[in-house]
Amino acid sequence: MTWTDGPLLGFDTETTGVDTDHDRIVTAALVRRDRDGTHVQTWLVDPGVEIPEGASAIHGISTEHAREHGVEPRGALDEIAAAIAEAVRDGVPVVAYNASFDLCLLESELRRHDLPTVEDRLGGELRPVIDPLVLDRAEDRYRSGKRKLVDLCGVYQVVDTGDLHTADVDVVATLDVLERIVGRFPHLGDLDLVSLHDYQVTAHRAWAEAFNAWRAERGHTGPGAESTWPSRAASRAAAATGAPGTGAPLEPLAAPAAPGPAAEPAPAPSPGLAARLTGRYATQPALPVPVTPEPVAIRHDPARDRRFAGRPIQDTLIA
């Protein structure tokens, strides 16, 4: 039995914008997936500020709707943080797509309302976290194209029956994408949760450093990608220890040969790893994309997980 058997706790938010320091949560969802099925809890929050039209166009929640039907933020934020902390104390990993965005925003919101952060409640870092975006970048690093959740649903043949950019639908899709990623790269399922978390810390740092170098070479300005993952607590822990991140120290490996001009077709995913949600959120098995036969299982090699240190990775930052 491995972590892929569950339980898993998915987390997602829809917000007033993309600034994790200043924007607010409008909707949030926690989705627990285990052997008994998938259990959804959602919040609609009145953020206390105007919701920009651009944000409303994405998630469909207007300022007027949030004011009329939303709950006050302090109570909702406390419930969300308490539920995440309780799950982590029980050994349940938190699964979030682009986890650093949602977790950093949640931390800012909790501090804004003078509430203890998830890390405060845990007495340490929020870990383990599993981020399908980080895993996809690490395992299929040379695939071209964008890596938004909707893009990965296509790559990994996940079809949602609701509208993405609704927090609960996004979480279910994220859990389905994670399931398919592990089906395609089965060595991930062989890792224990501590190793998997540290693997992602290292992989994200390598990607962020290479991405920021790529931006600088092209004269782009602005802050770029943060090198720490999945939250600011990871950055504070790294600063306290003098380390570049929370992962274990890694030795540089030789750079790989450049990839060929054309990417190989994506292999077909494995069958399901956990119970599926039925009805509105049911996962469909096929999309019209080219596939190759089922991949051969790869025996886990610890040295393979150190391959990111000192290695350039170029990718498209998701919006």
Residue 169 has what pLDDT? Answer: 85
Q: Which residues of the chain have pLDDT under 50?
A: 161, 244-319
pLDDT number for residue 291? 33
Rounded distance, CA 138 to CA 208, Å? Answer: 12
- Exposure pattern of 34-50 as b/e (b: 16+ CB <10 Å)? eeeebebeebbbbbeee
pLDDT value, residue 1: 79
Domain boundaries, the chain: 3-251+266-306
Write down the pLDDT at residue 205. 95
- Helix, strand, or coil here: 129? strand
The token duo for 108 is: 């800012």
User: In this predicted structure, what is the pLDDT of residue 11?
Assistant: 97
CA distances from 37 to 165, 257, 274, 287 (A): 22, 44, 8, 24
Task: For residue 190, give every residue at least 6 positions away whose Cβ sits within 8 Å of its Cβ, in sequence order, or none.
Answer: 2, 300
**Residue 306 is encoded by which pair of tokens?**
């150190």
Q: Name the pTM for this structure.
A: 0.74
Q: Report pLDDT for 263.
A: 42
Structure tokens given for 309 = 């240190």
Architecture of domain 3-251+266-306: 2-Layer Sandwich (3.30)
Q: What is the pLDDT of residue 246?
A: 41
Residue 268 has φ and ψ, to the nearest 5°, of -75, 150
The runs of H, that is alpha helices, within 90-166 are 99-112, 118-122, 132-139, 149-155
Task: Report pLDDT for 28.
Answer: 96
Residue 193's nearest CA partner among 87, 294, 277, 83 is 87
Q: Give DSSP secondary structure letters for 221-247.
A: -S----SS-S-HHHHHHHHHHT-SSSS
Grouping H, G, I as helix, E, B as strand and the rest as coil, residue 112 is helix
